[in-house]
A and B are shown apart, each in its own frame.
Chain A
Amino acid sequence: MSRRLLAVAGAAAAVGCFVWSSWPPPSRYAPIEVSFAVVGLSYMVAGIAAWQRWPSSRLGLLFSIVGYLYLVPYILVNLANPVAFTIGVLSEGLYDAALAHLGLAWPTGRLRSRFECGVVIAEYAQLVAFSVAGTMFWNPAFSGCNARCPANVLLIGDGSRSAWNTLNTIEAYVGLVISGIVLTLIVLHWRSARGWSRRAMVPVLWIAPAVAAETVLTGSLFNFSALVRYALLPLVLLAGPALFVISTVRARTAGGALGTAIVDLEPGASPTRLREALARALGDSTLQLAFRQPDGAGYLDTSGQAVEVVRPDPGRAVVPVAGSDEAVLVYDEGLQVEPQLVKLTAAAASMALEHARLQAEVQAQLEQVRASRARIVEAGDAERRRLERDLHDGAQQRLVTLSLALGMARDRAAGADPELGSLIESASKEAKEALTELRELARGIHPAVLTETGLAGAIQALAERSPVATTITAVPDGRFPAAIEATAYFVVCEALANVAKHARAGGAQVTIQSRPGRLVVEVSDDGAGGARAERGSGLRGLADRVASVGGVLRIDSPPGCGTRLEADIPCP
């Protein structure tokens, strides 16, 4: 039979006995019976639930003990049996000691010191001792229970009302002192706790005084009516099970908050931000996220503090993040009662770190791709420059020489053989035309003027050659890196070619401005508009070219309102 089933069966049996023993209740006792049942049962249920939630902690057992010590004496005194009746009377009030035990053992279920064990034992002992002593002098008739009650088997003679009263009063004062000690210890627990444990102690700070006040008020020092004393005041004891509910809700909330914190964490957030988010969500301000140092020099947390991981400081516990020992979470030991929450936190941290790692990897890859794209474009430019130069040094040079030679040949032949002269003349013309075409080809491959004079001269040359009237409003005179100059040049070249081909424009305007850190190239016309990068592969290629140096190409071309093309190029 499982522990859970056993606990449920025990609680059910207790309640069954309770109902059986007190049924049917005299009507004036009904509220008291209900109050007893509710309080006792609530502790039993809390005990079963706590046992489920914290199988390795004694809290479940302590809740159950309070429940049984609360309910069982009541059952016993209701049985028409002198021995049972006497045991019931003796054990009444023992639950106070179990409550003190529970309060001192919160939140781990363990008492913190020998002294505290002593306090708990003293509480149990004084209750038993005063109970036994008092019962020896207590005649049930003192409490108005004459013929209805079974006999008190411990009663000496007819008992002594004064001795019984005196013992009750002494017991009440001793109880007051022990309650004071227990409450002081609880406050000290709260003060010395940090992180999760401190927050777990907060509800106890409110509940413990209330429960202590209840035990004092229902004791012999005060005279309340039976209804208040036995039915209303005991309802304060429901605060005990409420403690369990509060801690459960808190753990659930923390679990949910962890998920939200990870989702809300901005991409690529630093480990410091991650730690803050986790600590806030978890409610453990002492949470540390520590990383193993590459040189094997131990672990450092996000604030750069060295963290002992193998033998953590007292009150601290360690969990690895994602199964590896690259990163660990160091948390308040009190959290160990919530292993699911610890696991969830480690998983959340692992996910966030993995996300950040992937993000960094993608960023690095993107950076590599950007750099390689820029290199490819630069290599292309260099190759075009080389081609142009080769044409200039080779074929163009030879054609020039050929043209000169033909000119000389023509001059010599002209007098002697006019027919040969005109033949050479036409050959010379051919050579000249070939040279012109070759020059155009070379210029298309790479404009020598850009290499020779920079942007100002090259843009001037472009404007002069453009079939559409082109005004240059501004071009910086200085030189820029070759890739920037080439990009700016090709933007203007392609834009002016588009103006001539598609825009049906009356005029175009070129403005190049050097601003801090960038070069802004603008070409506008007064033509038909309607140009789009997606449509013309020329503009698409130009956008790619601008992007290769990290720039942006913007096209503003509403139909009928001209086209404005702007390249914003980063420039060191």
Chain B
Amino acid sequence: MQPAAAILIVDDHDGFRIFARGMLEAAGFTVAEAATGAEATEAARTVRPGLVLLDIQLPDTDGFEVARRLAAAPAGDPAPVVVLTSTREARDYGGRIAASPAAGFLPKDQLSGAALRRFLARDQS
């Protein structure tokens, strides 16, 4: 089994972060948290997560913008896998998800360690 990647959860909803952290830590991941877009870019720089679980709706900006910023990280620094998430469904965002540099979208209620691992595996393959 490969070493568990660090996961950065970006969500302004405390309850979600707490339960997601519990679930993902139980699944063997190291977890960091950020509540805003600004915190997310800062944490991505310091924590160097392998995957960012990024809520689309943030208080200061939106997930699409944060995904763009993360994708534009300096060369040589492996950009993290970004998975957008929302309580809404993917189709509520039309083509915006496909147009963003994020690796994909995961509805919040379908969050699980296994689902994130699939994204990571897809990224490595």
B94 touches A456 (CB 8 A): yes
A392-B57, A401-B16 as given contacts; A449 in contact with B94, CB under 8 Å: yes
A453 touches B96 (CB 8 A): yes
**Residues from chain A with Cβ under 8 Å of B68 in the complex:** none
- Docked Cα-Cα span, A400 to B11, in Å, equals 13
A453 touches B23 (CB 8 A): no
- Chain A proximity of B92: nearest CB distance (Å): 4
* Interface residue? A252 (CB, 8 A): no
* Interface residue? B32 (CB, 8 A): no
A411-B26, A448-B88 as given contacts; A403 in contact with B109, CB under 8 Å: yes
- Docked Cα-Cα span, A457 to B92, in Å, equals 8
A449 touches B93 (CB 8 A): yes
A404 touches B92 (CB 8 A): no
B23 touches A404 (CB 8 A): yes
8 Å CB interface, A17-47 against B: none
8 Å CB interface, A397-442 against B: 397-401, 403-405, 407-408, 411, 432, 435, 439
Report the stretch among A96-104, A116-124, A297-305, A458-466 that lies at the interface: A458-466
Q: Which of A400, A411, A448, A458 contacts B16 (CB 8 A)?
A: A400
* Interface residue? B118 (CB, 8 A): no
* Interface residue? A194 (CB, 8 A): no
A452 touches B94 (CB 8 A): yes
* Interface residue? A443 (CB, 8 A): yes
* Interface residue? A524 (CB, 8 A): no
* Interface residue? B112 (CB, 8 A): yes
**Residues from chain A with Cβ under 8 Å of B92 in the complex:** 443, 447-449, 452, 461
- Docked Cα-Cα span, A439 to B91, in Å, equals 12
* Interface residue? B22 (CB, 8 A): yes
- Chain A proximity of B63: nearest CB distance (Å): 11
* Residue in B closest to A443 when the chains form the complex, CB atoms: B92
A408 touches B19 (CB 8 A): yes
* Interface residue? A548 (CB, 8 A): no
- Docked Cα-Cα span, A396 to B109, in Å, equals 10
- Docked Cα-Cα span, A460 to B108, in Å, equals 23
Q: Which of B19, B26, B95, B96 contacts A401 (CB 8 A)?
A: B19
A400 touches B91 (CB 8 A): no
- Docked Cα-Cα span, A408 to B25, in Å, equals 11
Number of residues on chain B facing chain A (CB within 8 A): 22
B69-84: CB near A (< 8 Å → 1, else 0) gives 0000000000000000
* Residue in B closest to A400 when the chains form the complex, CB atoms: B108
A398-B15, A411-B26 as given contacts; A439 in contact with B94, CB under 8 Å: no
Q: Which of A405, A439, A453 contacts B93 (CB 8 A)?
A: A453
- Docked Cα-Cα span, A136 to B98, in Å, equals 130
Number of residues on chain A facing chain B (CB within 8 A): 29
**Residues from chain B with Cβ under 8 Å of A405 in the complex:** 19
A407 touches B23 (CB 8 A): yes
Most buried by A among B15, B20, B88, B109: B109
* Interface residue? B42 (CB, 8 A): no
Q: Which of A435, A447, A457 contacts B109 (CB 8 A)?
A: A435
- Docked Cα-Cα span, A208 to B96, in Å, equals 95
B94 touches A404 (CB 8 A): no
- Docked Cα-Cα span, A62 to B89, in Å, equals 102
- Chain B proximity of A466: nearest CB distance (Å): 13
8 Å CB interface, A528-558 against B: none
- Chain B proximity of A502: nearest CB distance (Å): 26
**Residues from chain B with Cβ under 8 Å of A407 in the complex:** 23, 112
**Residues from chain A with Cβ under 8 Å of B19 in the complex:** 401, 404-405, 408
- Docked Cα-Cα span, A517 to B108, in Å, equals 42
A397 touches B87 (CB 8 A): yes
* Interface residue? B47 (CB, 8 A): no
**Residues from chain B with Cβ under 8 Å of A408 in the complex:** 19, 22-23, 26
A457 touches B111 (CB 8 A): no
**Residues from chain A with Cβ under 8 Å of B57 in the complex:** 392-393
- Chain A proximity of B102: nearest CB distance (Å): 15
- Docked Cα-Cα span, A396 to B88, in Å, equals 8
Most buried by A among B57, B87, B93, B95: B87
Q: Which of B91, B108, B109, B112 contacts A461 (CB 8 A)?
A: B91
B13 touches A457 (CB 8 A): no
- Chain A proximity of B119: nearest CB distance (Å): 17
**Residues from chain B with Cβ under 8 Å of A458 in the complex:** 94
- Chain A proximity of B56: nearest CB distance (Å): 9
**Residues from chain A with Cβ under 8 Å of B91 in the complex:** 449, 461, 464
- Docked Cα-Cα span, A411 to B20, in Å, equals 14
A404-B109, A453-B93, A457-B96 as given contacts; A392 in contact with B23, CB under 8 Å: no
A400 touches B87 (CB 8 A): yes
- Docked Cα-Cα span, A399 to B13, in Å, equals 12
Q: Which of A398, A447, A453 contacts B95 (CB 8 A)?
A: A453
**Residues from chain A with Cβ under 8 Å of B87 in the complex:** 392, 396-397, 399-400, 435, 439
Most buried by A among B26, B88, B93, B95: B88
- Chain B proximity of A329: nearest CB distance (Å): 66
- Docked Cα-Cα span, A337 to B88, in Å, equals 86
- Docked Cα-Cα span, A404 to B112, in Å, equals 9
A453 touches B94 (CB 8 A): yes
- Docked Cα-Cα span, A392 to B87, in Å, equals 7
- Docked Cα-Cα span, A440 to B9, in Å, equals 27
- Chain B proximity of A486: nearest CB distance (Å): 16
A401-B19, A449-B93 as given contacts; A439 in contact with B13, CB under 8 Å: no
* Residue in A closest to B107 when the chains form the complex, CB atoms: A400
10 A-B contacts (beta carbon < 8 Å): A392-B87, A397-B87, A399-B109, A400-B108, A400-B109, A443-B92, A449-B93, A452-B93, A460-B94, A461-B94
Contacts A400-B109, A457-B93, A461-B94 known; list 10 others, CB within 8 Å: A392-B57, A392-B87, A399-B109, A401-B19, A435-B87, A449-B92, A449-B94, A453-B95, A457-B94, A460-B95
Pairs A-B, 4 closest by C-beta atoms: A457-B94, A453-B94, A396-B87, A401-B15
